[in-house]
Homo-oligomer: A and B are copies of this chain.
Amino acid sequence: MEPFPPLPPPRRVLLGPGPSDVAPSVLQALARPTLGHLDPEFLRTMDETRAMLRAVFGTRNELTFPMSGTGSAGMETCFVNLVEPGDKVVVCTNGVFGTRMAEVARRARAEVTEVQREWGRALDLDQVRKEAPREAKLLAFVHAETSTGVLQDPGPLRELADELGALLLMDCVTSLGGLPVELDRWGIDAAYSGTQKCLSVPPGLAPISFSARAVQALEKRRTPVQSWYLDLGLVSSYWGSERAYHHTAPINMIYGLHEGLRLALEEGLEQRWQRHGQVAASFQKGLEDLGLELLVPAHERLAPLTAIRVPSGIDEARVRRYLLEHYSMEIGGGLGPLKGQIWRVGLMGSGATRSNLELCLSALGAALRDQGWASDRARG
């Protein structure tokens, strides 16, 4: 067959739930010359990447590195390694990603208790306490639910995990690099993330981190991990001092992550969290000034991702098409029961800027007026 012409991807303003805007130096890093996965220079890059990842995760965990897949591969890594058939696992679900965790845990043959909470609200700790079985091995929750824009305070979950004698597993895909994440201070035993949210690196890697206690649980397994590709016993031997070949690491993606982590530390984590917070506060105020309603109550709201209710009479997909056509801007729609009900706007990583928030408000206003959105519903 005749080959297609070379790609000309257009430049977008990426304000959906991820991938987020990628900094130019990260794109350049992807294009650096490929090295062998056992090249001494690349081994140094791996060590630097791990060290920076630990800083961003707020941990000293030895077992901290990126898995060779996207965020969902990170999720699966945590479950298939920590769970053995028949183990009791409690999954708190208040959105797509909690629901996905429960599904992944079931496929790892866990006995899953799913504590279901209304989508768009933080967890009800009393409910979790009531529904969780004794002797659960694992309590899993989502720190920043990408499908709804809800933030979950990890503190009370650590207490609950202690009561249950369970390991605590946290999804921090949408928080890492954009909100405080402090694995050691919070007592998180296992965490996974993605690169394409607040780290502003293209999708393709899943940073994970396991506490000493979680590593002990791996060592005590009586059955092999069902996934060879995600088996941390094997993957650790490559990322650790043995450098044993397991699979060929995605070299250029790791260059990109190295640069993304570098930028995060260069800015300073506190500074970066503040930037996300300030941009989100202005954006959320601007939305309310436009007369729009937010899905999540203010005290449970994420900074990096905001869910906006679609006003009645507005065609939500048409708004997204309008933004794409007129502003080359991407925002997200709702998932699952929230499909057609909300928009999701991410102001994440290098995309969390005053310019982007103002442009997005302006573009949203124009898209709504295009559908005859009455300006008198706007405040002021």
List residues of A whose CB falls within 8 A of some B CB: 1-4, 6-7, 9-12, 14, 16, 18-19, 21-22, 25, 27-37, 39-42, 45, 48, 51-52, 55, 68-73, 75-76, 100, 103-104, 106-108, 194, 196, 202-204, 224-229, 245-253, 255-256, 258-259, 261-266, 324, 330, 335
The CA of A226 and the CA of B76, in the complex, are separated in Å by 10
Number of copies: 2
In the assembled complex, the Cα of A203 lies from the Cα of B251 at a distance in Å of 7
Chain B residues with Cβ below 8 Å from A68 are 69-70, 73, 204
On chain B, the residues within 8 Å of A258 by CB distance are 4, 7
Contact with A14, one of B19, B34, B41, B266 (Cβ below 8 angstroms): B34
B1, B30, B52: the one contacting A30 at CB < 8 Å is B30
A75 to chain B, nearest CB (A): 8
Q: Which of B27, B29, B69 interacts with A7 by CB under 8 Å?
A: B29
Q: How far is the CA of A255 from the CA of B204 in the complex (A)?
A: 13
A245 touches B335 (CB 8 A): yes
**B-side contacts of A106, CB under 8 Å:** 224
Using Cβ atoms and an 8 Å threshold, which residues of chain B touch A34?
9, 14, 19, 21-22, 27, 196, 202
Interface contact A1-B41, CB-CB below 8 Å: no
Assess whether B39 is in contact with A330, with CB atoms less than 8 Å apart: yes
Also in contact, A225 and B29, with CB within 8 A (given A7-B258, A203-B37, A249-B203): no
Point out which of A33, A75, A106, A264 has the most chain B C-beta atoms below 10 A from its C-beta. A33
Enumerate the 9 nearest inter-chain pairs by beta-carbon distance, A residue then B residue, closest first.
Answer: A204-B250, A3-B265, A31-B31, A72-B247, A202-B252, A3-B262, A30-B30, A27-B31, A203-B248
Residues of B within 8 A of A21 (CB): 34
Separation in Å of the A52 CB from the closest CB of chain B? 6
Q: Chain B residues with Cβ under 8 A from A37's Cβ?
A: 19, 203
**CA gap between A107 and B4 in the complex, in Å:** 40
Given contacts A35-B9, A55-B1, contact A71 B255 (CB under 8 A): no
Smallest distance from the beta carbon of A242 to chain B beta carbons, Å? 14
Residues of B within 8 A of A35 (CB): 9-10, 12, 14, 19, 330
Give Cα A4 to B39, complex, Å: 19
Which residues of chain B are near A73, meaning CB under 8 Å? 68-69, 229, 247
18 pairs, A vs B, C-beta closer than 8 Å: A3-B52, A3-B266, A4-B51, A4-B52, A6-B259, A9-B42, A10-B41, A11-B33, A19-B35, A22-B33, A27-B33, A68-B70, A71-B247, A71-B248, A103-B228, A203-B248, A245-B335, A250-B253
Contact yes or no, A107 B225, CB < 8 A: yes
